[in-house]
Structure 1
Amino acid sequence: MARIDPVAPEDWSEEMTTFITEFRTAVLGEELVQSRPGGANLLGTLAGYPKLAKSFLAFNGHFLYGCSLTDRQRELIILRVAHRRQCRYEWAQHVLLAGDAGITEDEITRVATGPKAPEWKPLESALLQATDDLLSRGTISRDTWSLLAAELDDHQLMDVVFTVGTYAMVAMALRAFDVEPEPDLIPYLPTRR
């Protein structure tokens, strides 16, 4: 049961409804907005605090539609954060976005195995290792940084760090507030091990 009740979409202010609709359209595009899970519980929780919702979603938008990483790179990082932070809601939402980025079901499953899985390309392995490093130690090891820096520019390196940090915070909020997945997200939840 949620610790903070989400505000139902019909109770959002007109300004909040417009803001969230524009945010979802920027993330998904016109064609997918109607067919994708709406995130009513997460967005409804945020909608209860409009000032925070607008500031956070504007910042978060950078990672979802303005990031210098490829969509594939971003989603591998976010899925790894969701797995490591055991955030089922975040995992389910980003399984959908990972599919849009061309990440296969096998690769999504492999994210849980981590950077040592031999099937990863070297850069993808380094991105997953950087995620683990940041979550465990708050920094990236020299060896992993060297691998990343050989392939990525400074903006991309910054986006790696900020993507991990942002989605670790999202996972923390989702878990702390005990945000429930909507019924249309349930098929995308991680399997229990």
Structure 2
Amino acid sequence: MTKPRITPRPTDDWTAEVDDAFAVLRAHAPGDQSGPPQRPKANILGIYAWHPGFVRGWMPFSDHLRHSTLPDRVREMAILRTTWLGYGEYEWAQHVWMSKAAGYLTENEIAALSEGPDAAEWSPADAAVVRAVDEMCTVKNVSDATWSELEAQFTREQLIDFTFTVGTYDMHCTAFTVLGLQLDEGLTGFPDDHRRAG
């Protein structure tokens, strides 16, 4: 989609209600938070800004996933594979940038996530993570064999967080496509050979 169906709300049009709704984002921000709130420019937050009630309901859960029990690297692997499979270009581009900037994943690992669980880059434990994402996104379940491999490396809390992370980003792929969410300036989208027809 080449234009948004809902355009981001300009930050100078945000109200005190919108600022208050986004307060959960500031809870983990570094530095002094006593001044006026900084309004993030991301296109998705601009869309959310039209609906403060949604923000108040959604952001605590979204913030939990961002700071969940999963190791950062595993979380980013799950998000990138999910959004690659679901053609979720916005979140894929955001998380490629974040993963590189934070050092969670290497260029080779990011490339391997576009290949899948059989990529030579993966250890058996990593391959199980990628395979679980593939199974969740294609058959909407995880095989007993793959689940056993996950249980060998994650706690119950981590298994729950993993499941909801994949499920949430799979939902993002649909929602953001429907809304016509456009990439933020400076981000690189999918390669030309990975675009859904139509």
Tell me the TM-score range normalised by the shorter chain: 0.7 to 0.9
In structure 2, the CA distance between the partners of 1:25 and 1:189, relative to structure 1 (3 Å rule), is farther
Instruction: Determine the structure 2 residue equivalent to 1:87.
Output: 88
Q: Deviations over 1:78-118 (max 9, x none)?
A: 00011001111111111122121421112111110011112
Q: Does 1:113 align with 2:115?
A: yes
Instruction: Determine the structure 1 residue equivalent to 2:8.
Output: 6
Instruction: Determine the structure 2 residue equivalent to 1:182.
Output: 184
Q: Does 1:69 align with 2:70?
A: yes
Aligned equivalents of 1:159, 1:87: Cα separation in 2: 20
Q: Say if 2:76 and 2:95, in contact at 8 Å, map to a contact too.
A: yes
Pairwise mapping of residues 1-193 of structure 1 onto structure 2 (< 5 A)? Answer: 1-20=3-22, 22-23=24-25, 26=28, 29-30=29-30, 38=40, 40-65=42-67, 67-99=68-100, 100-185=102-187, 188-193=188-193
Letter in 2 for 1:85: G
Instruction: Determine the structure 2 residue equivalent to 1:34.
Output: none
Q: How many residues align?
A: 182
RMSD: 1.7
Aligned equivalents of 1:39, 1:110: Cα separation in 2: 30
Displacement of 1:25: 6.3
In structure 2, the CA distance between the partners of 1:157 and 1:105, relative to structure 1 (3 Å rule), is same
Q: Deviations over 1:3-25 (max 9, x none)?
A: 11221111111242354365166
Letter in 2 for 1:190: F
Q: Say if 1:75 and 1:101, in contact at 8 Å, map to a contact too.
A: no
Aligned equivalents of 1:39, 1:84: Cα separation in 2: 27
Unaligned 5+ segments in structure 2 are 32-39, 194-198
Aligned equivalents of 2:61, 2:27: Cα separation in 1: 16
The structure whose residues are more often helix, as a share, is 1
3-state SS of paired residue (1:7): coil
Give the structure with higher Rg (CA): 2
Question: What is the TM-score normalised by the length of structure 1?
Answer: 0.87
Question: What is the TM-score normalised by the length of structure 2?
Answer: 0.85
Aligned equivalents of 2:111, 2:138: Cα separation in 1: 21
Percent same amino acid at aligned positions? 34
Greater mean deviation of Cα atoms: 176-185 or 75-84: 176-185
Unaligned 5+ segments in structure 1 are 32-37
Q: Say if 1:4 and 1:177, in contact at 8 Å, map to a contact too.
A: yes
Letter in 2 for 1:155: E
3-state SS of paired residue (1:179): coil
